Chain A
Amino acid sequence: MSDEAATTGKPLLTPFNVIAGIIVVLGLIVTVLRFTVGLDAVTNLSDYNPWGIWIGFDLLVGVALAAGGYVTSAAVYLFGMKKYHSAVRPAILTGFLGYTLVVIALHYDVGRPWRLPYPFIMQRGTTSLLFEVAACVALYLTVLFIEFSPAAMEWLGLKRARKLVVRLTILLTIFGVVLSTLHQSSLGALFLIAPAKLHPLWYSPYLPVYFFVSSIIAGLSMVIFESTLSHRYFADKMDAAHLKEKDTVALGFGKAASLVLAGYFIIKVIGVSEGNNWHLLSTNYGLWFLVELLGFVALPCFLYAVGVRDKNIKLIKWTAAWTVLGLVVNRLNISLVAFNWHLPASERYFPHWMEIVITVFLVTLGVLAFRFIVTRMPILYSHPDYEDH
């Protein structure tokens, strides 16, 4: 990506735009295939492996990485950490776009996407955790949309509507945290019904707690990561407050992430002990589990701590990216790598290239939407007409 790409009114044929254009065209072609020929034509899904990367990455990772919205708004509006105020809007925007893409991805994955409202309007399968996830994601997407709307309203000059929404801030934030707690944890709880298929090191009655706690880590790291990228490509859109608070946010969120990672590490170890799975650590899956636990939990926890102590913003930023990667590894482990571990290699799943195309296509759409919005709406700066919010 080049700096020109970040600003409007500059030449269109930048390397970023060309690559994004190619991805979008490819994505559209595969989209047509998916919806006219069927899942078989574009995926490697099978009767043994009903969920692929569209669930493992697009849904599980997507929802976790979009956790920055509830984490940041809770910190600022509920916990009173006003000094991170400039991080709220970018985080809410990232969350809103993230959840939107999750819902779009689900349309690709489920067999009959036009029936997605059926759990609410036809028959409610209340014993299913997926019902809980569906209800919360639908509600939370609405909450995020309302939380995001003031930025759009400022852009469009809808002062009265904006005032109404701003008055609801606290209520929306509390609802957001409740709904996020529920569906972040329920995504982990989805796998509770399959103890026979998920490797015992990853299967634990604590799965919902693990998913919830790691979503906080992902949210915090994503805010740092996203602000690093925004600063790099949209610095001209940032106002003084954003530029000034940027390092404060990195230090504060880095410290919080380090602490939560420490707690997460502890409960993960307790999970191994409670499941009496110590002996499995010496197997191949055990080694991979240790890579995740030490390399993507303990290590970033320590690096964040060093970064915060030394006020080393650069280290914090790199650690944030590493932690985000660790979250991806964790979710893919649970949904794909350690799932169906009992099956012979020939029956295991590996994504079809067209599945990857769709995933990359959706991420690209997210980046493009983010760019479209931050170059137009007051996300990285405060609108001069509206004081404080």
Chain B
Amino acid sequence: MSITRRKFLSWLGAATAGTTLGNTANAASNKHFSGYPNSMGVLFDNTRCIGCRKCEEGCNTVNELPAPERPFDDLSVLNTRRRTDAKTYTIVNRYDAVSNVKIKGPLYRKVQCNHCLEPACASACFVRAFSKTKKGAVIYDASVCVGCRYCMIACPFEIPTYEYDSAFEPRVMKCTMCSPRIEKGLLPGCVEVCPTEALTYGKRTNLLQVARARISKFPDRYVNHIYGENEMGGTSWLYLSAVPYKEVGMREDLGVTPAPKLTAGALSGVPIVVGIWPVLLTGIYAMSKRKEKIANTETKLAVAAAVEQANTEAKANLKSEIEAVNKMKQKEIDNAVKKALEEAAKPKEEEDSDAQPEKAEKKPSEEGS
């Protein structure tokens, strides 16, 4: 299936989204993508590989990689299990114990980027440094790479490597399927030099037919499984093997789910959170605000009631106080009258009563306190 679209290069590209969406709407909702038609691939047949390391040398030459520590004709390096690194895009490993009796001697496995139809590295890259070309190569653009190395986490084949020794311009290094060469119509470096035709370059669809033909022609020679046909959604590199693939160090537990599908669910959760969370949170906020308001009103009412009660009590107190004061005043007046009367009666007996004025002085001071 293919969906027409306009070139989508930037945020501004979204302005054209209307027409694009119009086109996608024609497609079935259950979308399936089978990759670029006529894209190329390479078939590796391990029953034909003799472990000569010529492909390593060819790769090294055409990609202008640094010279290896030990020369390519030194086959003793096959005694150790190696992997690709920042200076080596492809390596060949030897596997001695072989379960297929038809095969005499060891089997070899060539390791390089498998050029997935749906590359995990491209899906994982947050600057789109990786892209799948129409010809089938997965290529890398060092000019935008930040160096987060998430591509290396994502790749199920552990292919991307990193120039850890470079302080200023470290790059991710991996096989490019000789993309510059195949664009020019040349063969990938490794395929060109392979002396035994263990490597076949061609259209991926054709290679699948070739592989099937070999299996049906020599059913004893091959396991009935083309590695890369479906692994991780399919790869541009395909493999034929005399033994189950895990015996030559290839993982058979990767599944057939293309990498972008693995994260599609999590990605589609993002806009849902953005859409629903603010509504939910504002709702919770409004509820707590309302609760607070009710609580406040209740408090206010309670306070008002308390104040009123206090007021009535205070009024009552005031009344009684006023009464008390009035009573005292009355008493004072009474006393004053009494005193005046007594004083009026005094002159007659002034000499014998010394205690009287003392008493009169004391009284007002008591009232003042």
Point out residues on A near B: beta carbons under 8 Å.
35-41, 43, 45-48, 50-51, 74, 77-80, 109-113, 115-116, 118-119, 122-125, 127-132, 134, 170, 173-174, 177-178, 181-182, 185-186, 189-197, 205, 208, 342
Nearest CB of B to A286, in Å: 18
Of A74, A122, A178, A197, which contacts B127 at CB under 8 A? A122
Q: Which of B122-171 contact A (CB under 8 A)?
A: 122-129, 144-150, 152-154, 156, 158, 160-171
Other A-B contacts than A77-B285, A178-B277, 10 sampled, CB-CB below 8 A, are A39-B162, A46-B164, A78-B288, A111-B171, A112-B145, A125-B127, A129-B124, A182-B274, A190-B153, A196-B254
Determine whether B85 belongs to the interface, using a CB cutoff of 8 Å to chain A.
Answer: yes
Specify which chain B residues have a CB less than 8 angstroms from the CB of A74 in the assembled complex. Answer: 281
Query: Within the assembled complex, what's the spacing in Å between the Cα atoms of A174 and B127?
Result: 29
Query: Within the assembled complex, what's the spacing in Å between the Cα atoms of A50 and B154?
Result: 10
Pairs A–B under 8 Å by Cβ, sample size 13? A40-B165, A43-B164, A46-B164, A50-B150, A51-B149, A80-B292, A111-B171, A128-B124, A181-B277, A182-B274, A191-B153, A193-B123, A197-B153
Determine whether B120 belongs to the interface, using a CB cutoff of 8 Å to chain A.
Answer: yes
Q: Is B262 a contact partner of A129 (Cβ separation < 8 A)?
A: no
Determine whether B11 belongs to the interface, using a CB cutoff of 8 Å to chain A.
Answer: yes
Q: Is A192 a contact partner of B263 (Cβ separation < 8 A)?
A: yes
Q: Is B269 a contact partner of A124 (Cβ separation < 8 A)?
A: no
Specify which chain B residues have a CB less than 8 angstroms from the CB of A190 in the assembled complex. Answer: 150, 153
Specify which chain A residues have a CB less than 8 angstroms from the CB of B254 in the assembled complex. Answer: 196
Nearest CB of B to A173, in Å: 8
Q: Is B154 a contact partner of A194 (Cβ separation < 8 A)?
A: yes
Q: Is B156 a contact partner of A119 (Cβ separation < 8 A)?
A: no
Specify which chain B residues have a CB less than 8 angstroms from the CB of A45 in the assembled complex. Answer: 149, 162, 164
Using CB atoms, name the residue of chain B closest to A76: B288
Nearest CB of B to A133, in Å: 8
Point out residues on B near A: beta carbons under 8 Å.
11, 83-86, 120, 122-129, 144-150, 152-154, 156, 158, 160-171, 251, 253-255, 259-260, 262-263, 265-267, 269-270, 273-274, 277-278, 281-282, 284-285, 288-289, 291-292
Q: Is B128 a contact partner of A125 (Cβ separation < 8 A)?
A: yes
Q: Is A177 a contact partner of B277 (Cβ separation < 8 A)?
A: yes
Query: Within the assembled complex, what's the spacing in Å between the Cα atoms of A74 and B281?
Result: 9
Specify which chain A residues have a CB less than 8 angstroms from the CB of B149 in the assembled complex. Answer: 45, 50-51, 110-111
Nearest CB of A to B262, in Å: 5
Q: Is A47 a contact partner of B84 (Cβ separation < 8 A)?
A: yes
The listed residue with most B CB atoms (<10 A of its CB), out of A80, A111, A116, A132, is: A111
Nearest CB of A to B295, in Å: 10
Specify which chain A residues have a CB less than 8 angstroms from the CB of B269 in the assembled complex. Answer: 185, 208
CB contact under 8 A between A127 and B154, given known A38-B166, A110-B147:
no
Query: Within the assembled complex, what's the spacing in Å between the Cα atoms of A41 and B163?
Result: 12
Query: Within the assembled complex, what's the spacing in Å between the Cα atoms of A37 and B169?
Result: 11
